[in-house]
Structure 1
Amino acid sequence: MYSDDVRDEWADRSGEYSPAYYAYRGPDETSESVRAVLAEHLPSDAAVMELGCGPGRHLAHLHEAGFSNLSGLDVNDESFDVLAEEYPQLDEVGEFTCDTIESAVPGFADDRFDAVYSVETLQHIHPDEAWVFAEIARVAGEIVVTVENEGDGDPSDENASGDSTTEEDADDPPDDDPEVNYVREDIPLYYRDWASVFGDLGCEQLRAESRGRDTMRVFRTP
């Protein structure tokens, strides 16, 4: 699957894994874990960006906890209609952008945000677009938080988008590409060692915590 195909899958997603699907699920334990990490390292007025924010369920939890300078980025424009309906107070104060990570992040200034985080989003970035991880580190002034499936969880756990693990790609990836699984046969999930990805960019890992199928990592940027 090409990088454009990956983006198109998310931009046009409806039904399962759509913005309405995630809004229905609402904030969860991951929302609280992200809040706790941000509260530990940053004041409540810190500029925070979520990549792949969907309908804003994690950002809504941050807002309810007192964070006031919140931004979200998502490729699916339906996300922001759902956000406005489900979380109107967040919609009033937040800054939201409908775009791809690869297109939007390079346009942000250095250290534009105090924190950038993702929840089961960076794992869908195509290997051809891996350059964007350096851009994420560049715009994050203090910390980067990743909550991603690294492929080492219990096979009985749900996969990154909430279903049982699917079959691996039939073709072996090149040695320099991450292993890939497919969610419902159409959404690629790339397993990466995020400690190495951001460590190689000069970031210091402050915490690593297994969360079922996901691993949460906290990095201090250079």
Structure 2
Amino acid sequence: MSKKNKKTLQEIHDYWVHQSQPDHYIDKVKRSEFLTEYVKKYILKTGKILEIGCNVGRNLNHLYENGFKQLTGIEISENAITALKKTYPLLEKNSEIIHSSIEETIKQLPTHHFDLVFTMAVLEHIHPDSEWIFEDIARITGSYLITIEAEKAEHWRLYPRNYKNIFEKYGLQQVEENRCDKESGLGAYTLRIFKRQSNMGGEL
């Protein structure tokens, strides 16, 4: 990436605050269906689940409709949260949606608190100055972490990374890796599932 195309952390945050385009995400239900099948495979319906970068809440709502009730989302865009409240009122009423950047919130979250933490096309946008959050993501993960990310894409707001190399440094072990289903609209993405070796509270 050329220096002229590099953006600051603030510029990346400003982009997602103002350009979250929640309407663009609502109809991509096949992505949520793809994710949910893996969540069902590893997590009990009683498990505590966190989505980092939930946008309009489509993934969380699909999990809610499939019986998962202990749901939390973190979202930087107020526009996206407003759309979530309008589009999925039951989800908004029965879950915790945190309006914040991940950088501002993650240090406050308890260690090993969530049975599942997951991201979909979010970590790829994390600025290099914020890569310290990866260790904290591992810290708050009690049982499983799922990443669905475009690991090789590069753009002014896309940073290529291998998440197996990252998260295995922080006490998680990869237990599954798949190229995502093209029919879901995630053909360019890699699915990785990581497991903590102890404190397995909400797993099957």
Q: Normalization by structure 1: what TM-score?
A: 0.80
Does the residue aligned with 2:32 lie in a helix, a strand or coil? Answer: helix
SS at match of 2:49: strand
1:148 equivalent to 2:149? Answer yes
Match of 1:181 among 143, 155, 158: 155
Letter in 1 for 2:16: W
Structure 2 residue matching 1:181: 3-state secondary structure = coil
2:84 partner amino acid: L
Residue 102 (structure 1) aligns with:
103
| Counterpart selection for 1:219 from 173, 176, 194 | 194
The reply to whether residue 83 of structure 1 matches residue 84 of structure 2 is yes
1:55 counterpart SS class: coil
Partner secondary structure for residue 36 of structure 1: helix
The root-mean-square deviation of aligned C-alpha atoms, in Å, is 1.3
Equivalent position amino acid for 1:58 in 2:
N
In the alignment, the residues of structure 1 paired with residue 53 and residue 190 of structure 2 have an alpha-carbon distance, to the nearest angstrom, of: 17
- Please, which of 205, 209, 213 is the counterpart of residue 178 of structure 2? 209
Identical-pair percentage: 29
User: What SS does the aligned partner of 1:96 have?
Assistant: strand
**1:191 aligns with one of 160, 163, 170:** 160
Counterpart in the other structure of 1:7: 13
Quick one: which of 163, 169, 189 aligns to 1:200?
Answer: 169
What one-letter code is carried by the residue in structure 1 that aligns with 2:17? A
SS of aligned partner of 1:43: coil
The correspondence of residues 1-150 of structure 1 with structure 2, limited to 5 A, is 1-13=7-19, 17-23=20-26, 25-28=27-30, 30-150=31-151
Gaps of 5+ in 1: 152-158, 160-179, 183-187
Q: Distance in 2 between matches of 1:44 and 1:37?
A: 13
Letter in 1 for 2:155: N
Provide, for residues 132-178 of structure 1, a one-character-per-residue CA deviation record: whole Å limited to 9, x for no partner.
Answer: 00000101100110000011xxxxxxx7xxxxxxxxxxxxxxxxxxx
**2:191 partner letter:** M
Opposite residue 136 of structure 1, the aligned amino acid is I
How far, CA to CA, are the matches of 2:129 and 2:81 in structure 1?
A: 28
Structure 2 residue matching 1:54: 3-state secondary structure: coil
SS of 1:109 mapped into structure 2: coil
Q: CA deviation at 1:20?
A: 2.1
1:64-122: CA deviations, max 9, x gaps?
11101011111001111111111111111110001001111111011121111000001
How far off is 1:33 after superposition? 2.5
For structure 2, which runs of at least 5 residues remain unmatched after alignment? 1-6, 181-186, 198-204
Q: 2: distance between equivalents of 1:34 and 1:141? A: 19
